[in-house]
Chains A and B, each alone.
Chain A
Amino acid sequence: MKKCYLITGASSGIGYQISADLLAQGHVVVGVSRNVSDKVRQLENDYPDDFFFQEKDLSVDIDSLSKWVVKLSKEFGKFSGFIHSAGMQQILPLKVNTHKHMLEVFNLNLFAGLALAKGITDRRVKAESSVSVVFISSVASVMGAPGLINYSASKASINGAMRSMAIELAPLGVRVNSVLPGFVETEMMGKWSDVYTREYIDQNHSRCPLGIGGVDDISNMVLFLLSDKAKWITGAEFKVDGGFSLGDLR
């Protein structure tokens, strides 16, 4: 059955791959990010009747986002799922951390996700059948690294919010889960090389027992969680990290 999904961060990396995979399965995707990338143009070209791109900065006017989702559903139909993949990584030592920096990360990674989830689960918006919400968290929510204080905190808070949301929304037929990717080859990871030394990056890569992941590895898990095969799964965190978080002690 054709279903309608809202995906943030659809212009790049993991969000793009999830969008492409859902479209290939015949679903409708409303994708959101600030910029129209070449990948977005390609999807618009390949799926003119099923892919609808919305250019929007999700880190501003956060309280308006839930009403915006109500508007979207009047235009595109009721939503069966929401994936919050838009996210920003920030590498910043504590000694230069400020409330402004903290808010920057939390606004996008957590607060926008919560506001959009509020919109998606509005009774005027959610599909009658089951609804699945997936937050793209990170293994950084359960592991530490220098400079990742705000980022780790924002991702850990997603997991916390996800659990309470799962309980609150279960009576409405809404399942809520988090996926915690490890190192995945995307545009975001490219930014690491601007900040960390080659040695540090190589060291992290060598700590992935199954090597660095691809965006399809994350998308496969998300598509499973969106599907009815996951109908008894809610409030759970799924590490998809090639074994990185096992913390090989050798």
Chain B
Amino acid sequence: MKKSDFLDELMEIMQRDEPLDPSDELDSLGEWDSMTVLGVISMFDLEFGITLTIDQLKAAKTIQDLIHLSNDNVSN
């Protein structure tokens, strides 16, 4: 998946119109709540066949960290 598509899908899960940047800190985004976390887990499962754990997501600080968790499934 291209990085831009990944960011679009993330915007959809977060229900926001404002664009996201890989450097955005997750905790600084108002939309980063428990339902968004579940949405990201389901997206990784459906799109990449990757089962994320809550601990992995807790450790992620930025959107770039989420991209890193995709194990190269997200490219430029």
Docked pose: A124 CA to B15 CA in angstroms? 7
Interface string of A141-173 (1 = CB under 8 A from B): 000000000000000000000000000100000
Indicate if the CB atoms of A168 and B35 lie closer than 8 Å: yes
Say yes or no for B17: interface residue by CB 8 A criterion: yes
Say yes or no for A122: interface residue by CB 8 A criterion: yes
Interface size range of chain B in the complex: under 10
Indicate if the CB atoms of B35 and A124 lie closer than 8 Å: no
Docked pose: A122 CA to B11 CA in angstroms? 12
Most chain A CB within a 10 A radius of its CB, from B15, B17, B31, B35: B15
Q: Please report whether the interface of chain B is mostly helix, strand, loop or mixed according to DSSP.
A: loop
Say yes or no for A191: interface residue by CB 8 A criterion: no
Say yes or no for A41: interface residue by CB 8 A criterion: no
Residues of chain B lying within 8 A (CB to CB) of residue A122: 15
Say yes or no for B3: interface residue by CB 8 A criterion: no
Docked pose: A123 CA to B30 CA in angstroms? 11
Q: Count the A residues whose beta carbon is within 8 Å of the partner chain — how many?
A: 4
Say yes or no for B16: interface residue by CB 8 A criterion: yes
Indicate if the CB atoms of B35 and A123 lie closer than 8 Å: no
Q: Please report whether the interface of chain A is mostly helix, strand, loop or mixed according to DSSP.
A: loop
Residues of chain B lying within 8 A (CB to CB) of residue A123: 15-16, 31
- Chain A, residue nearest B14 (CB): A123
Docked pose: A53 CA to B16 CA in angstroms? 26
Residues of chain B lying within 8 A (CB to CB) of residue A168: 35
- Chain B, residue nearest A121 (CB): B15
Docked pose: A122 CA to B15 CA in angstroms? 6
- Chain A, residue nearest B17 (CB): A124
Docked pose: A123 CA to B11 CA in angstroms? 12
- Chain B, residue nearest A168 (CB): B35
Residues of chain A lying within 8 A (CB to CB) of residue B35: 168
Docked pose: A248 CA to B35 CA in angstroms? 45
Interface string of A112-126 (1 = CB under 8 A from B): 000000000011100
- Chain B, residue nearest A125 (CB): B15
- Chain A, residue nearest B30 (CB): A123
Residues of chain A lying within 8 A (CB to CB) of residue B15: 122-124
Docked pose: A124 CA to B31 CA in angstroms? 11
Docked pose: A122 CA to B31 CA in angstroms? 11
Interface string of B3-19 (1 = CB under 8 A from A): 00000000000011100
Docked pose: A123 CA to B15 CA in angstroms? 6
Residues of A within 8 A of B (CB): 122-124, 168
Closest 6 interchain pairs by CB? A122-B15, A123-B15, A124-B15, A124-B17, A123-B31, A124-B16
Residue contacts A-B, CB under 8 angstroms, 8 given? A122-B15, A123-B15, A123-B16, A123-B31, A124-B15, A124-B16, A124-B17, A168-B35
